[in-house]
Structure 1
Amino acid sequence: MTSKPEQPLLLHQVQLLEAEGAELRRCDVLIQAGRIAAIGAEAAQQAAACEARVLEAQEWLLAPPLVDPHSELEDPATGSAETLASLERSALAAGYGTVALLPRAYSWRDRPERLQGLVPLGRLQLLLWGSFSHRAGGTELAAHADQLAAGAIGLAEADQIPPLALLERGFTLAECGRAPLLLAPRDPSLSQGGFVREGVEALRAGWPTDPCISETLPLQSLLAMAQRHPARRLQLMNLSTAEGVALLRELPEHQRPEATVCWWHLLADSGSLDPIAEGWRVVPPLGTPNDRRALQQALADGVITAVAVHHQALDAEEQLLPLDQRKPGVAGHRSVLPGLWQELVVQRGWTAAQLWRVLCFAPARLLGLEPPSLSLGSDQWVLFDPNRQWIPTDDPWGPLAANQPGAAGPLTGQVLASGLIPELERWKASAV
């Protein structure tokens, strides 16, 4: 049975997470014209009057859309790996309402005019990071104040630490004010050419290993720089090692920079991933089982602030290259919520509110946004079924990227509907 587009839907006894700090509760929710029309007893009364279709939603979760603090999109218009249209479609279908793009692109977004023109076709909130240095070359500062005036949410760099002299100059000039500075604690000159973090598991698999000092030494420099310039808002991008977590834990909470972790580092490690599986080639490199456990615990404790998708799409031709020759990265927003729900909620005992804190509320604050919440009349909601099994290859809402871990499926947990993409609501509701 397929609902008419205008037919209201009553979610009977859905699990409702309204806002950060709110308790998860069961109640009726009326959805009308893609918006929340009523909650609680009022929803049931209005549903009877408007002849709403009743969906038994006891196992489902209604919550605000997710926020991705950093991903990449190299060719928004004509990319073979991903376009703005395909990224927007797949991110919305995966439950994301906001995506912030890093400056890396074919036309590096390091000048005000390059921060213009990226306009989503639908309801995705697209934010842009400006660039700390010119083309991340590490020799010349980009125009910080001009980029921020043009709408950049903050300044970011590539996947490595800038030269300390340039970093000191940028912090001292302070054109960025209190805008966030998102920097990766990574020095590739210390990586020894490896692409898997050093450990017994990587040695057994025969992979070239990357020592943890490629993260900890630049991290120490960044932490020292943050203490030297406390007025700057330093954020650490993609922490990946247990040793890095330990360095953050040593700091008093008020001195600890905000930090992100890539979702893939929470799900996979060098001991659990099949040697022929997708997902080995990432920057920073995939860690050991101990690294993964430390990252999960740091996220639970608030030592790490938020989870990033860090979407880096490769096309099918690039994906055919040997591991040591292809560009690094994993892609796909759609596997994030199902994967982390199974790992952190089902396996580790997290609550739905804890997961939404690191996927929604904390990433919003990291970007300087008001954390999303549910309210009457709003279309800012997603409906998630944590028990629904599905095959990603059968999903018409997927991204174009060829480097999607778990794309062969099956996955457990799926976004059934979103107020931000009514087409998804009708398509998925008809299958319920």
Structure 2
Amino acid sequence: MSLPQALVLRQVQLLEGPGQALRRTDVRLEEGRIAAWGEGCRDHPCPVIDASGLLLAPSLVDPHSCLDDPLHGVGETRASLERSAIAAGYGTVALLPDASPWRDSPERLQALRAPQGQGLELLLWGSFSLSGAGLELAPHGDQLASGALGLADGAQTPSLPLLERGLSLAEMDQAPVLLAPRDRTLAQEGFVREGVEALRAGWPMDPTTSESLPLRNLLALAARYPSCRLQLMNLSTAEAVDLLGSVAAEQRPVATVCWWHLLADSANLAPIEEGWRVEPPLGSAQDRQRLKEGLREGLLSAVAVHHQALDPEEQLLPVDQRRPGVAGHRFVLPALWQELVEGDGWSAEQLWQVLCFGPADLLGLEPPKLQLGTDRWLLFDPQHVWTAQEDCYAPLAANQPMARATLKGQVLATGLNPQLWRWIS
């Protein structure tokens, strides 16, 4: 069902922007845009919906995800990613250079440039190193001049000499540099973080030093080059959060955490379930708890989807032979609402800080906010129960960890897709 041309949401919970408290008011929507709220909704002959249990808030922001082949991908295409991300409530997605071929030149960035001002805002990270190999510098200045929002690299930290050289040259100026604190040579080919549960299950284990040692190096570099906007990608252990907390606030780099690491750990995921093969690997229940605490304390600044799609053929490979990653923007808001708001007592404002306002700040964007005329809003029902298999806005990816789940909480409508209207009065 498509969004009616005009309607009034009566007594909806409205979250305007960062630093604003939830308030109840009437909101009039016209052709997918916010036309009025409060007294401006009076005396207009259009349908009225009781929205007292719903939340109207700015669209979400994903600070980093992957898209391998935008045009011909079997696991995901640009069109399928945009459609599913918008239906999940996302208005902005920033894509890492991780692709085939690797996006490390102006030509490869230009090929994926999106028209701005309509639909999903698709932003592009440039590459710190050529091919993401961490051995040679990519053309930083040329990529940024071609529209890259900043520089990122692969799933592990580039070599220290290359980092020193790139940061000292400072071609990125004030553009962010997003790096993963990970050393694969220390991982010992493990794909679950070391711990009692992983030992009992017989999984190959990855020691915490594969994250903590490169993190110490990155923190030292951040202190040495304070003018560079060094950012940390996908922290996954309690030790990493504690290391970040030991740094003075004014010197602390902003950091992200993948949504899946807030929900799954080696103790609560069944051996046959999807979601074991991720990089960095899943940790213990204590790791997951500390990540949630770090997020609430502000040590971690943003939740990333880090969407990495696999095609059905690759998904049939044994878990230790397939590429790591999980997919699915559509699970993030419902699952984290249940985990953090319903489970841990977060407020809606706190959740939007890590799913919307914090990620926007990390990307150097103006903080999203609702205003008259905008279509960058989502309408969320925390109580709506739905089955993922019946969702016609699912992505193509075969590695969706909650693809067969029944979830509570769903985006009912968004101004970026007026054809999406999942709820009827």
TM-score, normalised to structure 2, is 0.98
Q: Which of 60, 64, 75 in structure 2 is aligned with 1:81?
A: 75
Q: Which residue of 2 aligns with 1:92?
A: 86
**Residues 226-305 of structure 1 correspond to what in structure 2 (within 5 A)?**
226-305=222-301
In structure 2, do the counterparts of structure 1 residues 171 and 321 end up closer, same or farther at CA, with 3 Å as the change threshold? same
Deviation at 1:328, TM superposition (A): 0.4
Distance 1:168 1:4 in 2: 52
In structure 2, do the counterparts of structure 1 residues 206 and 147 end up closer, same or farther at CA, with 3 Å as the change threshold? same
**Residues 343-422 of structure 1 correspond to what in structure 2 (within 5 A)?**
343-422=339-418
Partner SS state of residue 88, structure 1: helix
Distance 2:187 2:364 in 1: 33
Q: Which residue of 2 aligns with 1:30?
A: 28
**1:399 partner amino acid:** P
Distance 2:22 2:300 in 1: 23
Q: Which residue of 2 aligns with 1:321?
A: 317
**1:13 partner amino acid:** Q
Report if the CA contact (8 A) 1:88-1:120 is conserved: no
Q: Deviations over 1:56-102 (max 9, x none)?
A: 11110000000000000000000000000000000000000000000
Distance 1:287 1:353 in 2: 28
Partner SS state of residue 400, structure 1: coil
**1:36 partner amino acid:** I
Q: Which residue of 1 aligns with 2:60?
A: 66
Query: Does 2:13 match 1:15?
Result: yes
Partner SS state of residue 28, structure 1: strand
**1:292 partner amino acid:** R
Distance 1:242 1:422 in 2: 42
Report if the CA contact (8 A) 1:334-1:398 is conserved: yes
Deviation at 1:55, TM superposition (A): 1.1
In structure 2, do the counterparts of structure 1 residues 306 and 82 end up closer, same or farther at CA, with 3 Å as the change threshold? same
Deviation at 1:3, TM superposition (A): 7.2
Deviation at 1:117, TM superposition (A): 2.6
Q: Which residue of 2 aligns with 1:118?
A: 112
**Residues 89-238 of structure 1 correspond to what in structure 2 (within 5 A)?**
89-120=83-114, 123-238=119-234
**2:109 partner amino acid:** L
Deviation at 1:378, TM superposition (A): 1.1
Partner SS state of residue 376, structure 2: coil
Report if the CA contact (8 A) 1:15-1:59 is conserved: yes
Distance 2:366 2:204 in 1: 43
Deviation at 1:28, TM superposition (A): 0.7
Q: What is the alpha-carbon root mean square deviation over aligned residues?
A: 1.1
Report if the CA contact (8 A) 2:106-2:142 is conserved: yes
Distance 1:393 1:199 in 2: 33
Partner SS state of residue 422, structure 1: strand
Partner SS state of residue 255, structure 2: strand
Deviation at 1:229, TM superposition (A): 0.9
Distance 1:71 1:170 in 2: 23
Q: Deviations over 1:306-325 (max 9, x none)?
A: 00000000011111100000
Deviation at 1:4, TM superposition (A): 7.5
Distance 1:247 1:404 in 2: 31
Distance 1:424 1:35 in 2: 14
Distance 2:3 2:242 in 1: 54
Q: Which of 303, 315, 326 in structure 2 is aligned with 1:307?
A: 303
Give the total of aligned pairs. Answer: 423
**1:70 partner amino acid:** H
Q: Deviations over 1:125-160 (max 9, x none)?
A: 000000000001222100000000000000000000
Report if the CA contact (8 A) 1:85-1:120 is conserved: no
Distance 1:411 1:56 in 2: 23
Report if the CA contact (8 A) 1:14-1:27 is conserved: yes
Q: Which of 331, 335, 342 in structure 1 is aligned with 2:338?
A: 342
**2:50 partner amino acid:** E
Partner SS state of residue 288, structure 2: helix
Deviation at 1:5, TM superposition (A): 4.1
Distance 2:51 2:381 in 1: 9
Distance 1:152 1:250 in 2: 32
Partner SS state of residue 329, structure 2: coil
Report if the CA contact (8 A) 1:183-1:235 is conserved: yes
Identity in percent: 64
**2:235 partner amino acid:** L
Report if the CA contact (8 A) 2:16-2:371 is conserved: yes
Partner SS state of residue 93, structure 2: strand
**1:335 partner amino acid:** F
Partner SS state of residue 423, structure 1: strand
Partner SS state of residue 275, structure 2: coil
Greater mean deviation of Cα atoms: 224-233 or 359-368: 224-233
**2:111 partner amino acid:** G
Report if the CA contact (8 A) 2:277-2:325 is conserved: yes
